[in-house]
Amino acid sequence: MLKIEKIQKSFKQKDGSNLQVLKDINLDIKEGEFISLLGPSGCGKSTLLNIIAGLENPSSGSILVEGNEISGAGSDRGVVFQDAALFPWLNVFDNVAFSLKEKGLKKDEVERIAIDNIKKVHLSKFKDSYPHQLSGGMRQRVAIARALAMNPKILLMDEPFGALDEQTRLMLQYELQKIWMETKKTIIFVTHNIREAVQLSDKIVIFGTQPGNVKETFEVKAARPRQMNKGYLVHLEDKILDILKEEIEKVMKEEMGDEYNFEESSLPWDPTRDMGSNI
Amino acid sequence: MIWEVIYRLAIWPQILFPSPLQVWDTLYHGFVGGRFIIALQNSFRRLLIGYAIALGVGTFLGLLIASSKLIDETLGAFILALQSIPSIVWLPLAILWFRMGETAIIFIVVLGGTWNMVMSASTGIKNVDPTLIKAAKTMGVKGYKLFFKVIIPASIPHLITGMRISWAFSWRALMAGELLGSGQGLGQLLMWARELGNMSMVISIMIIIATLGSVTDGLIFKPLENRVLERWGLNSNN
Ligand SMILES: Nc1ncnc2c1ncn2[C@@H]1O[C@H](COP(=O)(O)OP(=O)(O)O)[C@@H](O)[C@H]1O
Ligand SMILES: [Mg+2]
């Protein structure tokens, strides 16, 4: 239902030169699929997501939703950003109702849909609260409800849980899986956390850097709900890690120049297999 | 207390240094007799007209500057230079253009409040979180709606701070203008009292000016600004 064809993207840099960020990206995403885009920071994941959202134009190539080429943003694609991006002057209800009012729906219709989506993320008690009164996890749930309220076919999520603590992150991963199973949305989920990608996705697209390109695609053939430490998932994590190691080394060599001297298995991986946000 | 003690010590002659009781008496009669009320009405009318124009013109120019780099580098730099001129310096020009009178003073008030408002408005708009704008676009908002429903509300904290500072500047400009200009405002009453050598009246009016300045800031602008900063999640105690 979503076809990404030969997408290339370059940014003009301050010194006038062109920085190629995406190179020949081709993806075919089926209806109802949960896809993760996984790769080290700076490899162009956000750029690709913004292009799919219609917030940015590709240098060449096209994005087709159900056969129609997109032009600009549209309500068939909802976006959840890493920092929630709620409107601070609106309370939870009005944030979620924002797009509905824009569409010009009737008042009772707006109310029904907004309340419905606030319920989906379990925030009914907080519908009159303002963003500054909510925790990071709650804000992210409001952002999800706000995106769902437009009833998009595709939900685009850019490291939505990246800024949350581990506990909250696990909770939200669980809730997101439930929402995905209930609503059957197509979800494109950007992350740099291998475990998160393995836990959530049907398919994992691994990005290489400089310029960003699709390095490899994995299907995750495990039943849901998934529990950690099942042999298959761990094995998959290791395989992905191996592939990404190369990429990370590439980035590090670039950043540190001659000082960088990689020794086998010397990277201090933490148990969550988080590649960190600043690599 | 200290005032009364100094008065009793009689360092200065009584005429130049009135007692608190005398001042209180003057204040009381000034208000009951209506003289202060009329002066206040005159002053406030000029202040409000000038301030309103300053906010409108300031916000508009601020938008213009924020909307284009070219305008920012030309008009923006020019306004930054204008900002360093105390507005009372414009009085001679104002008198030439509008003659001595109401308009000249309002002009000074406008100039007092405008430049700061321009800067606050343009800073506010330039600093709107780009992710908020992206989020709004994904929800189908664009053009003038994007401007009024997202960009303006998102820059309200800067706008409120600008309004608060502009009010203080306008108030100062008004007093300066009235001291030198003509008419029947608080500033003119002050000059008139000085000419009569009525120190008790001079001090009364200074007290009124100081009180009004701090009361409007403390009772209206500061609480408003605090509420906005809290709501927008910009309050440091939050
Ligand atoms: N608007 C832009 N102008 C110039 N360079 C950009 C712009 N947006 C992103 N980039 C560059 O593109 C590269 C990829 O960025 P991004 O898509 O944010 O990566 P990721 O989300 O994978 O961390 C980075 O090197 C970044 O500096
Ligand atoms: Mg990113």
Q: What tens digit of pLDDT does each residue of B150-178 get?
A: 998 999 999 999 999 999 999 989 988 88
Q: Choose which residue among A7, A11, A23, A79 to substitute to test ligand 1 binding: the one with the highest number of ligand atoms within 8 A of its C-beta.
A: A11
CA angle A42, A165, B128 (to 5 degrees): 55
Q: Which residue of B has its CA nearest to A103?
A: B140
Ligand 1 centroid–CA A47 distance in Å is 6
The pair of three-digit structure tokens given for residue B165, joined into one six-digit string: 């500072």
Q: Which ligand is nearest to the CA of A45?
A: 1
* Neighboring chain A residues of B129 at a CB cutoff of 8 Å: 85
Q: Which ligand is nearest to the CA of A23?
A: 1
A78 close to B (CB below 8 A): yes
* Neighboring chain A residues of B138 at a CB cutoff of 8 Å: 53-55, 73, 77-79, 147
What pLDDT is recorded for position A274? 58
A98 close to B (CB below 8 A): yes
What pLDDT is recorded for position B73? 86
Query: What atom of ligand 1 comes closest to residue A47's alpha carbon?
Result: 17
* Residue having the nearest C-alpha atom to atom 8 of ligand 1: A47
Does domain A2-76+155-278 bear CATH number 3.40.50.300?
A: yes
Q: Which residue of B has its CA nearest to A150?
A: B139
Residue A132 has its nearest CB partner, among B131, B153, B238, at B238
What pLDDT is recorded for position A258? 58
B237 close to A (CB below 8 A): no
Q: Which ligand is nearest to the CA of A38?
A: 1
pLDDT in tens, A79-95: 999 889 999 999 999 99
Does domain B39-231 bear CATH number 1.10.3720.10?
A: yes
What pLDDT is recorded for position A279? 46
A189 close to B (CB below 8 A): no
Does residue A162 register a pLDDT over 90?
no
Mean per-residue pLDDT, A231-254: 75
Q: Compute the radius of gyration of chain B from its Cα atoms.
A: 22
Neighbours of ion ligand 2 (CB under 5 A): A 46
* Residue having the nearest C-alpha atom to atom 14 of ligand 1: A44
- Work out the pLDDT band at B184, boundaries 50, 70, 90: confident
pLDDT in tens, B28-68: 887 777 788 888 888 889 999 999 999 999 999 998 898 88
B232 close to A (CB below 8 A): yes
- Residue from B129, B137, B139, B147 whose CB has the most chain A CBs within 10 Å, to mutate: B139
What pLDDT is recorded for position B94? 85
CA angle A153, A157, A158 (to 5 degrees): 150
* Neighboring chain B residues of A157 at a CB cutoff of 8 Å: none
pLDDT in tens, A21-44: 888 888 889 898 999 998 888 888
Cα–Cα distance measured from residue A156 to residue B168, given in angstroms and rounded to the nearest whole number: 47
Residue B117 to chain A, least CA–CA distance (Å): 22
Ligand 1 first shell, C-beta below 6 A: A 11, 19, 21, 39, 41-47
Does residue B238 register a pLDDT over 50?
no
Residue B135 has its nearest CB partner, among A74, A79, A103, at A79
Question: Under an 8 A CB cutoff, do B138 and A87 touch?
Answer: no
Residue A265 to chain B, least CA–CA distance (Å): 38
Mean pLDDT over each residue of chain B, to the nearest integer: 85
Which residues of chain A are in CATH 3.40.50.300 domains?
2-76+155-278
Residue A100 to chain B, least CA–CA distance (Å): 9
What pLDDT is recorded for position A64? 85
Q: Which residue of B has its CA nearest to A146?
A: B139
Q: Is the peptide bond before B157 cis (omega within 30 degrees of 0)?
A: no
Instruction: Give yes or no for a contact between B186 and B43, defined as CB atoms under 8 angstroms apart.
Output: yes
Amino acid at A8: Q
Q: Which residue of A has its CA nearest to B232?
A: A88
What pLDDT is recorded for position B32? 78
* Neighboring chain A residues of B137 at a CB cutoff of 8 Å: 54-55, 72-73
* Neighboring chain A residues of B134 at a CB cutoff of 8 Å: 50, 53, 55, 79, 81, 85
Mean pLDDT over each residue of chain A, to the nearest integer: 84
What sections of chain A are H helices per DSSP?
45-53, 92-103, 107-120, 136-149, 166-183, 194-200, 231-256
Size of interface A-B (CB pairs under 8 A): 62
Does residue A271 register a pLDDT over 60?
no
Q: How far is CA A96 from the centre of its chain?
A: 20
Q: Which residue of A has its CA nearest to B138?
A: A73
- Name residue, tokens 């075919």: A28
The pair of three-digit structure tokens given for residue B14, joined into one six-digit string: 């009584």
Q: What is the DSSP string of chain B?
A: -HHHHHHHHTSS-TTTS--HHHHHHHHHHHHHTTHHHHHHHHHHHHHHHHHHHHHHHHHHHHHHHHH-HHHIIIIIHHHHHHHTS-GGGGHHHHHHHH-SSHHHHHHHHHHHHHHHHHHHHHHHHHTS-HHHHHHHHHTT--HHHHIIIIIHHHTHHHHHHHHHHHHHHHHHHHHHHHHHS-SSSHHHHHHHHHHHT-HHHHHHHHHHHHHHHHHIIIIIIHHHHHHHHHHTT--TT-
B138 close to A (CB below 8 A): yes
Residue B140 has its nearest CB partner, among A55, A81, A103, at A103
The pair of three-digit structure tokens given for residue A21, joined into one six-digit string: 């960020």
A53 close to B (CB below 8 A): yes
Spatial strand order of the sheet with A68-69 comes to A18-29, A2-12, A60-65, A68-69
pLDDT in tens, A201-237: 889 998 888 787 787 888 877 777 676 557 777 777 7
